[in-house]
Chain A
Amino acid sequence: MPASESDILQGLAEILQEVAGVAPEQVTPEKNFIDDLDVDSLSMVEVVVAAEEKFEVRIPDDDVKNLRTVGDAVDYIKSAGVAA
C-alpha cells in the first residue's frame, strides 16, 4: 500500500534532519529545498537516495531537477509509489 501524503512529509522531514540538520517543523510543502531549507546540491543527492530507500521508489536524476519544493517531492513519491 502506497504511503500517505502525511507519511511522506514526515519521512522527508526525518531525512532532512539527518542529512542537513533541518528542524522538522520547517519541512512544509511550500518550502524550496535550496532557498528555504539551505540544502545544497550534494546534500540533495543524499536526500533523494535516502527517500528512494525509505519509500521504495526510483527517482531518476532527470526528475530530481523538477523537485524544487517539499510539496513537489511529496507528490512525486506518492505517484511513483502508486505506479510501482
Chain B
Amino acid sequence: MIHVHQDPVVVTGVGATTPLGGDVPTTWDALLAGESGVRRLTQEWAEALPVRIAAEVAVDPAGVLERVEARTLDRSQQLALIAAREAWRDAGSPDVQPERLAVVLASGIGGVLTLLSAYDILKERGPRRVSPHTVPMLMPNGPAAAVGLELSARGGVHTPVSACASGAEAVALGLDLLRLDRADVVVVGGTEASIHALPMAGFAAMRALSTREEQPETASRPYDKARDGFVLAEGAGVLVLERAAGASARGASTYAEVAGAGITSDAFHVAAPDPVGAGAARAMQMALADADLTPADVVHINAHATSTPVGDLAESGAIRTAMGSATDRVAVSATKSQTGHLLGAAGAVEAIFTVLALHHRLAPLTRNLDDPDDDITLDVVRLEHRHLGTGAALSNSFGFGGHNVALAFRSAG
C-alpha cells in the first residue's frame, strides 16, 4: 500500500566542492563577491584543443582525501565523497536507521577520466595491466555507491542520468522518496569530473563551448549580447533532505523547504533546446503546482543560463511563459557566470545556491553581464547581489536529450 506523506521536506545539510571553493561557505562567499572559477588550462594535453579554458575545482581532492582511499575512486567519486561528508556533518550526522537512509547521487557522464586512462593503459601495456578497480570507478553509479558505502545507506542508492539536468533530477527523486515513505533521510546531489581532452573536443565540436580564451574569467556570460557558449566545469554538490517532523524531532536546523518539482521532456531535438521553451515552461509550472505556489509567491530564480546564444534565450521565454506578469518582480541569477557549467553536478550545486539565497535572503549577482541582450526580458541580478524578501524560489536545469527539471523551494518557517 502506498503511503504518501503530507509533511514538508526540508534541507538540513549542504556540502559542495566547486571552482569557487572547497566547501559551501567558501563557495558562497566567492559567489557573493562575484568571483570567477574559470582559468586557462596549462596541462600539456590541452594544448592542441580548440578551447583551452575550463573551471577546475578550487581545492584539489588529492589534498583532501587519503591517498589510499583516493586511488580506487574516480575523480567524480572523490568530489562526491568530499561534498557528501560536508553535507552530512552540516546536517548534524543524523542518527538514522541504515534501512531508512537512501542516496540519490547523479552524474552526467560518470567516470570518464578513469575510462580514458584505463584505455590508455590497455593500449600501451596490455589487458593484464588494467586495474581491477576500473569498472567500479568508471560506472555512472560509482559516486552514488561510494557515498552509500560511506554513510552505510541501505535504503536504496540511485543514479539519475539526464545530462545537465541530472543533479536537479536527483533532488526531485529524493523528494519523491521522502513523500512516498521509502526513506526517512535522503542524501541527494550530483557530481562531475570530465575536464579532459576527449569530452572537451566533443563539446567543442558541437560548438557549445565559449572560445573566449584571451580572457577566461569573462568567457561565461549568460544573457550578455556577446555570449558565445558555456565553459566546462567540474565539482559536486550534495544536500541532506528529510521530512520536517523528523528534522524537528532531532532538533536539526533547516535551510529551506523543498516544496516541489517538475520534470518534462521536449521530444524536440537531442541537443538543441525547443526555441520557445515549452517543455521548460511546463516544468516550472509543474513545480509551482506541486509546491502549491503561484508565480506571485516567487522572489528568485536560479536560471539554467549556460551562456549559449540559443539556450539562454529559450529559457528567458520559458520563464515568461510560466510566470506571466510576475516575471518582472523576480530576481533572476545566472550563477554559471561564476562557476562555469558543472554538467551533472550543476543542478545540485545550484539547488544549494537557491536554498542559500532563500536562507540568507540574498540573490547572487550574474557576472560578465556587461551589455544585456535586448531580447532577454528578465530582471537579472547584475553588478552586485540583491536582498530578497521571504517567499519561494525556483532552480532550473535542462540537459542534452531534452530533459527539463524545475525545483521549487520555500523559505523555512
- Chain B residue nearest to A46 in the complex (CB): B132
A83 interface hit (Cβ, 8 Å): no
A42 interface hit (Cβ, 8 Å): yes
Please give the distance in Å from A39's CB to the nearest CB on chain B: 11
User: Which of B68, B128, B133 meets A42, CB within 8 Å?
Assistant: B133
User: Which of A21, A45, A49 meets B68, CB within 8 Å?
Assistant: A21
B3 interface hit (Cβ, 8 Å): no
User: Which positions 40-84 of chain A face chain B at CB distance < 8 Å?
Assistant: 42-43, 45-46, 49
Chain B residues, Cβ within 8 Å of A46: 131-133
A20 interface hit (Cβ, 8 Å): yes
- Chain A residue nearest to B129 in the complex (CB): A49
Please give the distance in Å from A65's CB to the nearest CB on chain B: 15
B67 interface hit (Cβ, 8 Å): yes
B66 close to A21 (CB less than 8 A): yes
Chain B residues, Cβ within 8 Å of A45: 132
Chain A residues, Cβ within 8 Å of B132: 42-43, 45-46
Please give the distance in Å from A55's CB to the nearest CB on chain B: 15
User: Which positions 69-120 of chain B face chain A at CB distance < 8 Å?
Assistant: 69, 71-72
Please give the distance in Å from A71's CB to the nearest CB on chain B: 23
Q: How far is the CA of A81 from the CA of B67 in the complex (A)?
A: 32
User: Which of A19, A20, A43, A49 meets B128, CB within 8 Å?
Assistant: A49
Please give the distance in Å from B69's CB to the nearest CB on chain A: 8
In this complex, which of B129, B131, B132 has the most chain A Cβ atoms within 10 angstroms of its Cβ? B132
User: Which positions 51-75 of chain B face chain A at CB distance < 8 Å?
Assistant: 66-69, 71-72
- Chain B residue nearest to A45 in the complex (CB): B132
Q: How far is the CA of A43 from the CA of B66 in the complex (A)?
A: 16
User: Could you give, for residues 20-45 of chain A, a 1 whenever the CB lies within 8 Å of some chain B CB and a 0 otherwise?
Assistant: 11000000000000000000001101
Chain A residues, Cβ within 8 Å of B67: 21
Interface of A, helix, strand, loop or mixed by DSSP:
helix
Please give the distance in Å from B95's CB to the nearest CB on chain A: 27
Chain A residues, Cβ within 8 Å of B72: 42-43
B131 close to A20 (CB less than 8 A): no
Chain B residues, Cβ within 8 Å of A21: 66-69
Q: How far is the CA of A45 from the CA of B128 in the complex (A)?
A: 10
Please give the distance in Å from B126's CB to the nearest CB on chain A: 11
- Chain A residue nearest to B68 in the complex (CB): A21
- Chain B residue nearest to A48 in the complex (CB): B132
Chain B residues, Cβ within 8 Å of A49: 128-129
B68 close to A20 (CB less than 8 A): yes
User: Which positions 6-65 of chain B face chain A at CB distance < 8 Å?
Assistant: none
Chain A residues, Cβ within 8 Å of B128: 49
Chain B residues, Cβ within 8 Å of A42: 72, 132-133, 136
Please give the distance in Å from B31's CB to the nearest CB on chain A: 36
- Chain B residue nearest to A21 in the complex (CB): B68
Please give the distance in Å from B133's CB to the nearest CB on chain A: 6
Please give the distance in Å from A54's CB to the nearest CB on chain B: 13
Q: How far is the CA of A19 from the CA of B69 in the complex (A)?
A: 10
- Chain A residue nearest to B134 in the complex (CB): A42
Please give the distance in Å from B72's CB to the nearest CB on chain A: 8
Q: How far is the CA of A71 from the CA of B140 in the complex (A)?
A: 39
Chain A residues, Cβ within 8 Å of B131: 46
Please give the distance in Å from B149's CB to the nearest CB on chain A: 12
Chain A residues, Cβ within 8 Å of B133: 42, 46
Chain A residues, Cβ within 8 Å of B136: 42
Q: How far is the CA of A19 from the CA of B375 in the complex (A)?
A: 57
Q: How far is the CA of A21 from the CA of B68 in the complex (A)?
A: 5
Q: How far is the CA of A73 from the CA of B310 in the complex (A)?
A: 62
Please give the distance in Å from B84's CB to the nearest CB on chain A: 21
Q: How far is the CA of A19 from the CA of B68 in the complex (A)?
A: 7
Q: Which residues of A contact B (CB under 8 A)?
A: 19-21, 42-43, 45-46, 49
What are 19 of the A-B contact pairs (CB < 8 Å)? A19-B68, A19-B71, A20-B68, A21-B66, A21-B67, A21-B68, A21-B69, A42-B72, A42-B132, A42-B133, A42-B136, A43-B72, A43-B132, A45-B132, A46-B131, A46-B132, A46-B133, A49-B128, A49-B129
Q: Which residues of B contact A (CB under 8 A)?
A: 66-69, 71-72, 128-129, 131-133, 136
Starting from the known contacts A21-B68, A46-B131, 15 additional A-B residue pairs (CB-CB under 8 Å) come to: A19-B68, A19-B71, A20-B68, A21-B66, A21-B67, A21-B69, A42-B72, A42-B132, A42-B133, A43-B72, A45-B132, A46-B132, A46-B133, A49-B128, A49-B129
